[in-house]
Amino acid sequence: MSRLPPQCCVSRWRASAGARESEGPCESALVGSGPLLYLPLMIDEIKQAEHAAVARLAAVDDVDDLASIENDLVGKRSELGTLKSRLGGLDEEGRRAAGQALNEATRRVTAAIEERRAEVAARARAERIAAERLDLTEVLTRPQRGHLHLVTQTHMHLEDVFVGLGFTVSEGPEVETDWNNFTALNMPPEHPARSMWDTMFVDLGEPGSTVLRTHTSPVQIRVMQTQPPPIYTIMPGRVFRRDTADATHMPVFHQIEGLVIDRGITFGDLSGTIEEFTRAYFGRDFNARLRPSYFPFTEPSAEYDIQRPDGSWLELGGCGVVHPNVLRNCGLDPEEWSGFAFGFGTDRLPLARHGIDDLREMFTNDIRFLEQF
Ligand code: DAH
C-alpha cells in the first residue's frame, strides 16, 4: 500500500489501519473525506505489478504452469486486479490516469502472457518433434548372431566329406531296443561283449528291453532293415553310457557310424575309404592305420588310428567287415552281400583341432567359451 512520503502534501491519503491519518506534514492539503490515494505512487505500484508479472512469466516454461498462473497475473485477485479495486481511492483525475495506466499494464501483461504461451508451446512442440525424429545415422548394435555348436559344426564337416565320397546321411532314435543296440549286432543277451558298453536302461516295456543307445551301430540295423542294398551311408548322432564325466569322458557324447553294403565289398575297400576320409578331413599331413581288434558285429575287426603331423597316434574308433550274422539278422544273404562298417567318437576331433584339453568345456555351455569357435 502506498504511503505518502512525509514531505509531500499533494493529496490527502488515508491508508488502511495503522496509517498515519492526521500526522501528515501538511494537514492543510488533506481535503474532503474518503480514502484518497497518491497517484504517482499508484502509478508506481502499477508499474511494479506489471514488472513482477512479466518477471514471473519469464520463469514459466510449461504451458500448463502458464495456465495455472494466468489468473494470478491478470485476474481479479492479481496485483493488478487489486490495484483496480483501489482506484476508488483516487480523485477523479487520478482515477482516470491510474485507470488508464492500469488498463495499459493489464493489456501488456495479457499480451506478454500470449507471447509467452506461444513461445512455450513452440518450444514444447520443437522438443516433441526432436524426440520423435528418427535419427537415420544412429548406429544400433544389433543382437549378436549365434552360431552352431562345435559338435554340430564337426558333424556337418564330417557329413560334407562323406557326402563327397558318395555316402548318404541316416539317423536313428536315441532310445533304442535292446535288440537293435545289442542282439542284432551279434550280441545275444548273455554275450560277454555287452559289458564293453556301460548301458543305461530305460524303464519302458519288458525290463531291460529298452536302452539309451550306447553307440550309433544300431542305426546300421535300422538302415539294413528298411532299405535294400547297395547301401553307402553315415549315421551321426548322440550316444549314452554310464560314465562319470571327466576330462576325456562324458556320459553323453557323439559318434559317427559308417556302413557300406554291396556286392564283393572287402577289407581293402574299408581300408581305402578310411584312408581317403582321413586325408579329406584331416589333411595330407595325416596318416591312418588299422590295428587288429575285436567287435562282435565285424569280422575281421580293426581299430582305426590317425597319425598326427608330429608323428603321434590318436585312436579314433573301430571298424571291420560286417559279420554274416548281422547281415542275416537284417534279412540279407551273406552269400550275396558283404560290407564294412566303422564308428568313431566325434567329440575328440574338435578337441584335437582346437587344442581343447577338457571335453567338459564343450558341454557346460559357457557362451564365452563356445563363441570362440
Ligand atoms: N560301436 C562301436 C563302439 O561304440 C564302434 C564300432 C566298431 C563301430 C566297429 C563299427 C564297427 O561300426 O564296425 O565302440
Other CB atoms within a 10 A radius of the CB of residue 357 amount to: 8
Cell numbers for 170, please give them.
541316416
Element (H, E) at 294: strand 287-295
Bridge-based pairing of strands 231-240 and 168-169 is parallel
Q: Which residues line ligand 1 (CB under 6 A)?
A: 215, 217, 257, 295, 298, 317-320, 341-343
pLDDT per residue as tens digits for the range 276-309? 999 988 888 889 999 999 999 999 999 999 988 8
> Which residue ranges form the domains of the chain, and what is each CATH number?
27-132 (no CATH), 150-370 (3.30.930.10)
| Residue in this structure with the C-alpha cell 533304442, named with its chain if needed | 176
User: Residue 68 C-alpha to ligand 1 middle, in angstroms?
Assistant: 87
User: Residue 257 C-alpha to ligand 1 middle, in angstroms?
Assistant: 7
Residues 50, 79: contact at Cβ < 8 Å?
no
Q: Could you tell me the CA-to-CA distances from 15 to 3, 18, 23, 50, 370 in Å, in that order?
A: 7, 8, 12, 22, 90
pLDDT per residue as tens digits for the range 314-340? 899 999 999 999 999 999 999 999 999
User: Residue 354 C-alpha to ligand 1 middle, in angstroms?
Assistant: 25
Best residue for ligand 1 mutational test, from 249, 267, 319 (most atoms within 8 Å of Cβ): 319
Bridge-based pairing of strands 298-307 and 313-322 is antiparallel
pLDDT per residue as tens digits for the range 165-204? 999 999 999 999 999 999 999 999 999 889 889 999 999 9
Best residue for ligand 1 mutational test, from 187, 197, 215 (most atoms within 8 Å of Cβ): 215
Q: What is the pTM of this model?
A: 0.64
Gap between the Cα atoms of 306 and 311, Å rounded:
9
Report the pLDDT value the prediction gives residue 326, as an integer from 0 to 100: 98
User: Residue 81 C-alpha to ligand 1 middle, in angstroms?
Assistant: 103
Other CB atoms within a 10 A radius of the CB of residue 213 amount to: 25
